[in-house]
Structure 1
Amino acid sequence: MSDPPTPSPYHESEPLVGKMFRVLYLNNPALIEPGSRDDHIECNLSPTSLGQHPQFTALSYCWDVPEPKVPILCNGVKLQVRPNLQSALRQLRLPEKQVCIWADALCINQDDLEERVRQVKFMKEIFEAAAEVIVWLGDESDDSDIGMQAAKELADAARKYLEQRDTIYNMPADDPLVDEIFGKFRRGSEYPRFHALSQILNRNWFHRTWVVQEAAVARKLKILCGGSVMTWEDFTLVASLRSQLNLTTSANDKNVTPLILANTRLDYQNGVNRDLLSIMYRHRVFEATVPRDKVYGLGGLAGDDIAKHFMANVDYAGHEFVLYREVAAEMLKRGQLGVLSVAPGLNREHADGLPTWAPDWRVTRQSPCLGLWNEHDIHLVRYKASGDSEPSVRFNDAGSLLALECCRVDTIEAVGDIMIVEDIPHGFPGILRLPKFAYMLDNWRQVTRTSQSAEYPTSEPIADAFVQTLVGGPPSSTLTCCDSNTISSPVRLAYFAG
């Protein structure tokens, strides 16, 4: 005799079709305060659709580690959920009032691959439709309540500063108002509070791919950490101020991902339209448990036809390398050669099974593109080595080999050694051990023949061409060598296409 089927809360009278999705009604017995752990979680799932304009709060959070799981009661059925979600539900419930929430782990049947694919296609619309999006950073820990209080005080100080100044950004170091309002935060006694804030900014939520879209499209966005709440605008203002006022507490405490999230939300809310390559490149440092989400988790933010194509054909069954290859191929077919400028990770071999012309988006620590000022925005690269000519690309039947029509420009005659900055031995802090450094420069000088007086084919001195190639040619800069080879002309954008 076979075992009876396991009860499931996902057996609606009618299947979810079109833009239908489920919302979760969080029940709470009277007199139970938010965050209380005194009783179990009870909730009910109910189908709705975007056309019905339901009023609900969307939850943006990290799924956390798979085990151990904890029980909740959903539609009368016991379900096992991850601890971080259970903590969020405890914090969000209200005394004597139902709360309507959308949380992906519960509102989508994760055991139904077909349903997951359908829901992913309009995940962006769900977050846009929410009355507000709450970012759940997790329970209070590592003095996070102290860190959140420091953030609130810094945000209040910023508003006080703005009463007398036009902007909070690029504050003059000699402005007496800066010291008057922000000086107290630089005292040594404040270090523990801002270290606690650094711990908050280093929580997993700030490093996950899916949160990018969730934060960008929300009508209203709030940060919730334990029992402390802040608006998104105040929180990201504080993240920026920490860098400007040098309130970071370690060399690695750079606030990179919070500021990227803030810029992306600002772009989206102001109607700035980016293509898929720009969106994926800017957010390559964010991590994804499922590598295909480096496309599907970001594609909804892009406005080009390539993004629309892949978001309309979401496929979690195939291998991520097939998806990465198809995305790169589609970009090349449409003349977006910038995808070839996406450099691999430092000291990392290209993955077997992925063509070298297709970026490995699993790698979060990639090298910046040559000539890119802002390492997050590939659309700022303006190489036009081919002038006004249009690319002609072809692929073999398997789609793995790329053929290009090209013309011969020059011949590589010699290749110098590679200098990796991290490997250069140092003496005292900040002082290079010059013998090895000088040896590398001498090796490059011999390879490039910069000691010769001959001009480069494009008329500038060879030393000019070499330095422009190294630095990607930031414009309006004049460099002078330490020896007889003086680089007197302004360094311009490099004419090499990478």
Structure 2
Amino acid sequence: MATTNERQFTYDSILLPDATTHIRLLELCPVPDNDDELYCKLYTAPITDLPRYSAVSYAWGSNTKTHSIRVVDHDRAQTSTEKGLEYKLEYVSSLPITSSWICINQDDDEEKSCQIQLMKQIYSSAKEVYAWLGLDADGSDEVIQAFCQVAECMWDSGLFGKHRATKWFPAPRAIFYNRIDTPEVQALLRKVIPIVVPLLREKKILAWYKRSWFSRIWTIQEFCLNQYTFFVCGDRAVLDEIVLLVWELFLILPDFHHDRRFRNAFSENHSEILSLIDSLPASLIPPPMQHLFGTKGSWKRGKLTSLRELLEEVSTRLDLGDNRVDIHSTKYRDRIYGLLGLAADAEELVDIRPDYSKTTTTAEVLTQAARSIIKKEDSVYILRFAQFPKYNVEDPDPEDESGHRRHPEQQLPSWIPDWGNGTKYSYQFLDGVFSACGKFSDKVDLIPTSSPSTLGLRGLVVDKIEAVGRLPWRADWGFKEEGYHHYILQYFAIIKDMRRRSAEKNGDIYPNASRRNQALWRLPLGDCYRGRASADDVLPVFVELIDHCNFCCAKDEELQQRRQQQQQQQQSDNDSGNDNGSKPEPEPVPGLDQETFDFMADRWEELQATGSYLHNMMHMDRKRPYLTAKKGYLGMAPEHAQPGDVVVLLCGDSIPYVLRPVVGDGERDDDNRYTFVGEAYCDGIMDGELEEKLATETKREDFFLV
């Protein structure tokens, strides 16, 4: 039996023969009579010869060691098959624990670094993985029961194959989209929507998904690497594929508001389904879980994903309103290490190995990761995600209660992505659209440097920026924002003026005046609309937007005139005086009639719908139009770009970038050093027009990014 004077457990008693080839396994032991403590055995085994075991995935909590577990001496204690045993005190020790891995000595940074590299084998080799979400709370039992009911309905429909819980099913969302007009799909949705909507309205499903497990970096690979993963909440469990089926159902609920096919399928005979969905606020629909379900689906289908692609998936936001889960980790560097086990190119990234030593900063880890990815991919594609402002990536020293950091705060080099939550997705959201460097888009030209924080590249200066538009594009600007139509027209007026100034420079950057005129509608899109933008596709929707904004401005002017007339009339009445000396009550200020207001609101909704000009402009969010000094190139640059920055082509990517010369003493460029500003669009060079210059070695220039 456990007593207060029992000895403390130390990992020295169960040393790993080799932390790179062996792991510890934990075996729960029978509980002695009248004792509610947990007893276990810890023993080591080679990773190549493990017994049958289950793995547990759970979110770490506080670092405070508030609990303890009794560790029974593995060699001398009785076996776990014996019933009713009582352990002799000399064979039991107490291990104070946090909610972290007990099988790894968390105080040994060297051991932890080695064991992290074995996580892929540990979780993929387990017979199953249990994802522990926590105790029963907030209606979690009802949620799991509903998930199982929905899955039964889906399986019984025959739309998703005959096998249950044996393979990854076809994506239900795709089936709903492609067959929404069929009786089978409509009958299924009439069954399952009434099951989940009440639980959504009561916030029970949202509470389930808001448990901390869903937002931790390490749980992604722990969830994805095994064929069978069970979500455990309280004393109930549900298979991951069941949760996937229901998750894809959540994804289509917003489409009942945006896709007429969905509404038409139920408006005539089953309007109660629409009423049920309309009663559900969008804020109660669970956030997308693409980092979990999408990643596992790709893994099971054999789609290999690189580390850089995984980092994009976890960190970036592709669309406005994307309320994906923010991913967290106890240590910032785990945003790299926590995904290595899933990365198809992990073995090729030989310089990225978990390192928790106190002498290594997180900035150094992120820098080494970026350099390794550039070298492995033979591309500078990763630079697209080096955005500003950057997070402070250094972790607080857990042993320093004052919050001081173990290392002085170290700024990341300008070209290093910090992979923080909310990283903006690249504007080139379609592969193969551009080839600004021509045949040199696929091969980086690296220059060796003495410092890892300096990246040496070769490429070409396109031109220096002369002017930057005062208004950045704001993709979140909407109908409820007063004066949105004025903002849009002002934004296009800036581009129009820059286009005029470009023509005055007489540069040979366009084949004719007609192509230069197209810059007005190509720039705000980054020349992407259903692939590469074309006049036939874009001009009609562009004209619709301009016409609508002009209509709204005309209404504003009309209202302003009516208000002025009313004020003049009231002033005239006041000047004429009243017999009793009292002032007349002012009449209400006239506004838009309801019919006109409704028309404008509906029209705006159409103009920003998927596929519209405005919708495609979102990829230029926070970018500003620019004009270059010599040639008069027009393009889009990051919000913080400024005159004096240079537009460059770097061998190893298909789009241009903006760099800022580092100015030394005497206001001169210092040794070709630059800070990285961000990705850019440059009209007139996106199809390899400058490839010939890059092909001439003597015309290439050196760029040292710091």
- Structure 1-normalised TM-score? 0.79
Aligned length: 456
Contact 2:333 2:362 in 1 (8 A): yes
Displacement of 1:485 in angstroms is 9.4
1:275 alignment partner, one of 290, 300, 306:
306
**Which residue of structure 2 lines up, in the alignment, with residue 354 of structure 1?**
412
1:20 alignment partner, one of 19, 22, 27:
22
2:95 alignment partner, one of 73, 79, 83:
79
Displacement of 1:260 in angstroms is 2.5
CA distance change for structure 1 residues 287 and 408 in 2, over 3 Å: closer, same or farther?
same
Letter matched to residue 300 of structure 1: G
Give the distance between the partners of 1:303 and 1:355, measured in 2 at CA. 27
Contact 1:210 1:297 in 2 (8 A): yes
**Which residue of structure 2 lines up, in the alignment, with residue 295 of structure 1?**
336
2:343 equivalent to 1:286: no
**Which residue of structure 2 lines up, in the alignment, with residue 101 of structure 1?**
none
Contact 1:206 1:257 in 2 (8 A): no
Larger mean CA deviation between 142-151 and 299-308 belongs to: 299-308
Larger radius of gyration: 2
Give the distance between the partners of 2:43 and 2:435, measured in 1 at CA. 54
Higher relative contact order (CA 8 A, sep 6+): 2
**Which residue of structure 2 lines up, in the alignment, with residue 471 of structure 1?**
525
**Which residue of structure 1 lines up, in the alignment, with residue 184 of structure 2?**
177
CA distance change for structure 1 residues 312 and 436 in 2, over 3 Å: closer, same or farther?
closer
What's the C-alpha RMSD, in Å, of the aligned pairs?
3.8
Letter matched to residue 44 of structure 2: P
Task: State the secondary structure of the residue aligned to 1:55.
Answer: coil
Displacement of 1:41 in angstroms is 1.6
1:122 alignment partner, one of 115, 118, 130:
118
**Which residue of structure 2 lines up, in the alignment, with residue 322 of structure 1?**
364
**Which residue of structure 2 lines up, in the alignment, with residue 413 of structure 1?**
466
Contact 1:276 1:307 in 2 (8 A): no
Contact 1:108 1:115 in 2 (8 A): yes
2:491 alignment partner, one of 437, 440, 456:
440
Contact 1:236 1:259 in 2 (8 A): no
1:145 alignment partner, one of 130, 141, 146:
141
CA distance change for structure 1 residues 190 and 201 in 2, over 3 Å: closer, same or farther?
same
Displacement of 1:214 in angstroms is 1.1
**Which residue of structure 2 lines up, in the alignment, with residue 197 of structure 1?**
205
Contact 2:217 2:334 in 1 (8 A): yes
1:364 alignment partner, one of 418, 421, 429:
421
Residues 432-474 of structure 1: CA deviation (Å, up to 9, x unaligned): 7322333233233323449979996266733544544443414
**Which residue of structure 2 lines up, in the alignment, with residue 397 of structure 1?**
450
CA distance change for structure 1 residues 254 and 413 in 2, over 3 Å: closer, same or farther?
farther
Contact 1:198 1:253 in 2 (8 A): yes
Task: State the secondary structure of the residue aligned to 1:417.
Answer: coil
Larger mean CA deviation between 252-261 and 313-322 belongs to: 252-261
Contact 1:276 1:306 in 2 (8 A): no
Contact 1:239 1:259 in 2 (8 A): no
Larger mean CA deviation between 458-467 and 49-58 belongs to: 458-467
- Structure 2-normalised TM-score? 0.58
Letter matched to residue 336 of structure 1: S
Residues 409-454 of structure 1: CA deviation (Å, up to 9, x unaligned): 34433211343537747538xx973223332332333234499799
Contact 1:124 1:213 in 2 (8 A): yes
CA distance change for structure 1 residues 176 and 461 in 2, over 3 Å: closer, same or farther?
same
Contact 1:299 1:310 in 2 (8 A): no
Gaps of 5+ in 1: 33-37, 86-103, 374-379
Letter matched to residue 49 of structure 1: P
Give the distance between the partners of 1:53 and 1:203, measured in 2 at CA. 32
Gaps of 5+ in 2: 73-91, 162-169, 255-276, 316-325, 393-409, 548-611, 620-634, 636-653, 657-678, 680-706
Residues 356-404 of structure 1: CA deviation (Å, up to 9, x unaligned): 111012x11111111215xxxxxx4664311112322225322223332
Give the distance between the partners of 1:471 and 1:154, measured in 2 at CA. 41
Task: State the secondary structure of the residue aligned to 1:479.
Answer: helix
CA distance change for structure 1 residues 337 and 141 in 2, over 3 Å: closer, same or farther?
same
CA distance change for structure 1 residues 164 and 111 in 2, over 3 Å: closer, same or farther?
closer
Residues 100-137 of structure 1: CA deviation (Å, up to 9, x unaligned): xxxx6211111111211111111111111211111111
Give the distance between the partners of 2:226 and 2:114, measured in 1 at CA. 21
